[in-house]
Amino acid sequence: MAETYDIIVIGSGPGGYVTAIRAAQLGFRTAIVEREHLGGICLNWGCIPTKALLRSAEIRHYMERAADYGLSAPGAGFDIARVVERSRAVSRQLNAGVGFLLKKNGVDVIWGEATLTRAAADGRPAAISVKPAQKPPAQPQPPVPKGVKGPGDYEASHVILATGARPRALPGQEPDGRLVWSYFEAMVPERLPKSLLVTGSGAIGVEFASFYNAFGVDVTVVELLPQILPAEDAEIAAIARKRMEKRGIRFLTGAKVAKLEKKADSVVATVDDGRSARTIEVERVLSAVGVVGNIENLGLERLGVKTERGCVVTDGLGRTTAPGIYAIGDVAGPPMLAHKAEHEGVACVEAIRGLKAHPLERARIPGCTYCDPQVASVGLTEAKAREAGYDIRVGRFPFIGNGKAIALGEPDGLVKTIFEKSTGRLLGAHLVGAEVTELVHGFVVAMNLETTEEELMATVFPHPTLSETIHESVLDAWGRAIHI
């Protein structure tokens, strides 16, 4: 006989485990199904370990600039194996932390691969079948956590899909684990290649470009669109590109990798910009052309769950077209961000409980890219605001006018704000420079509170801090900036 729960969550990434914990807090008997690693891709092979790698790159960069700070660091070298091991240790710590949190909140863990076998109907709960987990081809299999349940049949009044996403592979350019990498291989190199070609200049592409460049790898990035970081404001992306080019990263925009020819220990890439084609020989290629939702082998089609462009269609509170079946996070569509998944999951289970829940306002979800320089944003770009018909005011404040930035030795950066002229409503904010990923939340809070320019101008920001750039950019939109 199938064991029954109130809620079963499939997938234990940031969206899944947060959803399960919130469900348990609300009094639901809850279980979570996982086939690979607690914490999902984000904690084990994505957000967290890449930030650990980038922290090592950042410290190396400062060591190389020690003389700028009146210091000396002669013979500052590195051991790439130790850099990688530190990153893996950070992931292991957080992986264990997720297990602790699930246990603390009374969430059962079911280890295996789940398939939906029945939607909720005619008074019967939804049902899933869990089979032994299959080892993914590109990833090491972690040990099964202690105290978890195994394969079998399970039922729940509500089943929430939080199965995440995986790297997208272009035909003829599929990662092979040796010459052509996905981000899995790029995160654990046994040695550094002399040269690396990155296809795609989104967050994943430029973050790895920054990391490998910091350790002396000759990096070239190919981007199909005319702008790197295509989702970002054009002015901010241009500043980021200039800074990264100054560091030695080459960008080929408006171009595509038309063909890859593999040799014994290198790859010859044919890059076509629509006017001519050139060949580039590199030791390794990193495919960073985005991700696609994990919707296969879940039984969605059989139960009438609608999918679109590789993702599950939901109503904004996680409900799908099949009763008792929900979806949150990457598998429910863009933006494919961990913090979006967490908030989406909380809203989903609170709506199930009957609490007042609001669909996530996607225009207020911040995005952060941890390349050097960092890039962060929320809301409309200048171009999108104009396309939408807004009459806008734009404020800009450069880091060179900020005392803390100069003291840090980080004077290259910009904060850009976009307001509706008639109402003073904040439509968007875009930042590039040191630690801007830690600044953007100020704009997110302001947008959620529907703060106007007048209220932001009246806010007292501490001195000396980088946050003062927020204040000055708002002042500049109304011609009142003080320090430029």
pLDDT digits (tens, 9 = 90+) for 330-381: 999 999 999 999 999 999 999 999 999 989 999 999 999 999 999 999 999 9
Which three-class secondary structure state does DSSP give residue 161?
strand
Q: What confidence tens digit (pLDDT) does each residue in 385-431 have? A: 999 999 999 999 999 999 999 999 999 999 999 999 999 999 999 99
| Residue that has been written with the tokens 């981007």 in this structure | 223
Residue 138 confidence (pLDDT)? 52
Indicate which residue of 343, 463, 471, 483 is catalytic. 463
Q: How far apart are CA 421 and CA 205, in angstroms?
A: 36
pLDDT given at position 141: 57
Return the pLDDT at 217.
Answer: 98
Average pLDDT, integer, range 178-198: 96
Max distance between CA atoms of the chain, in angstroms, equals 74
Q: What is the mean pLDDT of residues 89-118?
A: 96
Q: What is the rounded (10 degree) CA torsion for 76, 81, 82, 87? A: 120
**Would the pLDDT of 45 be above 90?**
yes
- Residue 1's pLDDT band, with cuts at 50, 70 and 90, is confident
Would the pTM of this model clear 0.85, i.e. be above it?
yes
- Helix residue ranges, H only, 105-218: 183-187, 203-214
- Whether 37 sits among the annotated catalytic residues: the reply is no
Average predicted confidence (pLDDT) for the chain = 95
Q: Which residue has the tokens 């499939």?
A: 10
pLDDT of residue 136: 57
Q: What is the pLDDT of residues 130-168, one digit of tens each?
A: 999 876 555 555 666 777 899 999 999 999 999 999 999
Per-residue confidence (pLDDT) for residue 145, from 0 to 100 = 72
pLDDT of residue 143: 63
**280-304 pLDDT, tens digit each:** 999 999 999 999 999 999 999 999 9
Residue (of 465, 476, 470, 462) closest to 406 by Cα position = 465
How buried is 72 (Cβ within 10 angstroms: 0-12 exposed, 13-18 middle, 19+ buried)? exposed
